[in-house]
Chain A
Amino acid sequence: MTAPPIETTVVPKSDDLGTQRSTPNGLVPLRDEVVRFRWTRERYEQIVEHGILGEDDHVELLAGEIFSVSPQNSPHAAAMLILVRLLQALIGPGFHVRPQLPLSLDEDSMPEPDIAIVSGAAEDYWYTHPTTAVLIIEIAESSLASDRRRKGSIYARAGIEDYWIFNLVNFRLEVYRQPAEDADSPTGYAYEQRTVYGAGDTVAPLAFPDGVVAVRDLQPKTPPQRRKRGKRA
């Protein structure tokens, strides 16, 4: 096979690889061959079991990739505790509320949602984490975009019927329902229905239609204190 004639002093102006490679079987399309390593949930659990990551590395596994879970600020912590309190009051005896604990979802995800309502009791999950939930809630400030797109896609693929995001930026509750196939989303699934609720609204979880969560209750009662400028506090 003779090589085609080429220019001898080519300065790369772009990373254009051309679109094809010549092989004994003819021309085949080129593709970028360097991709991030994908973790299965099974392999990821070995990391946890071996204790490879330190206490400062709080992570979760989302669709085969590992992400850091950020430390919580006080609004996030308060909102979470308020939601835990509200939800414990309205769920029935056959369910319990799990705050920031792992869920084994599909083959390649182990998220730690801020809140998951799961059937059964804590005792039922000594040996394995739950594999589904009737309601998942994420409390989001800086993570809003990824909670909507990446986590939304993972929860939809897992068939989680009721996914809420409490938006700490504007104190609105975003409710996502009707998981369905969606070619544009990272996992191929997304929620078809999205409704946003504000301070005057109430929402009932799909699994507890008589329960009431008032969005107004998910806010601080007093506005933040402002420091006086130029004076000692």
Chain B
Amino acid sequence: MTAPPAILPTASPVDEMPDTFRWSLEAYERLVELGVLTTCDPVELVGGEIVTMSPQYSPHAAGVVIGTQVLGKAIDDSHHVRAQVPLALVPDSEPEPDLVVVTGTPRDFVAAHPRSAVLIIEVAESSLRYDRRIKGSLYARAGIPDYWIENLGAGVLEVYRNPVPDPTARFGFSYSEMRTLGKEERIMPLAFPSVSIRVGDLLP
């Protein structure tokens, strides 16, 4: 890696914070359980707010499928890859990250969604700002050690590490280390340091 680490710019939360009702994780899951929200509703719960995801353009979808394959080959049997399914983050969030690497097997999460991950990747086109500032802060608060954003517009991989308290961030936490990698550079996931992935093989 040749790029020097950069400090992530954080936004003032005040102008972005709406005063709408905040859902707890439990109440949101009841909405899903009781069929008030269904699989026809492409929604996530982020910081107590229910947000809508747009239908995917093909580069985004390809990014998810490619990422599933590449990560699947990179990780060991004590972990597995999950694509666009819920991750339960107490007390008030249930995002559906594009790619998540979780400790355990799929059967470990039949009764309940996973509550943590060793790596999260979001494939970002026009959701870039949201993925950096809002999801970045959310995942940092949850202590996710390794958070990557595939910045499709710029054709680069943004790698965020070392979550720390940050009063200026939306959820009070952010990543203090950030690197941007181009297609010919390689990234080693923190949980699998002997694995080296070429960024160009990961990006769609």
Contacts and interface: CB of A to CB of B under 8 A. Distances in A.
Nearest to A65: B20
Interface stretch (B49-57, B77-85, B101-109, B164-172): B49-57
A17 B129 contact: yes
Interface string A1-33: 001001111111111011001010000001111
Interface in B23-40: 27, 30-31, 34, 36
Contacts of B2: 9
Contact of B182 (A9, A18, A46): A9
Interface string A132-150: 0000000000000010000
A36 B155 contact: no
Interface stretch (B64-72, B110-118, B120-128, B187-195): B120-128
Nearest to A13: B9
A8 B156 contact: yes
Interface in A40-68: 43, 46-47, 50, 52-53, 57, 59, 65-68
Interface residues of B, number: 43
Given A12-B158, A32-B129, A33-B127, A47 B18 contact: no
Interface residues of A, number: 37
The 8 A-B residue pairs with the shortest CB-CB distance, nearest first, are A8-B182, A15-B129, A37-B50, A33-B54, A66-B21, A9-B3, A34-B130, A11-B6
28 contacts: A8-B181, A8-B185, A9-B2, A9-B3, A11-B6, A17-B153, A21-B125, A21-B153, A31-B126, A32-B126, A32-B130, A33-B54, A33-B125, A34-B130, A35-B51, A36-B18, A36-B50, A36-B51, A37-B41, A37-B43, A37-B50, A37-B51, A38-B52, A50-B36, A52-B31, A59-B21, A66-B21, A146-B19
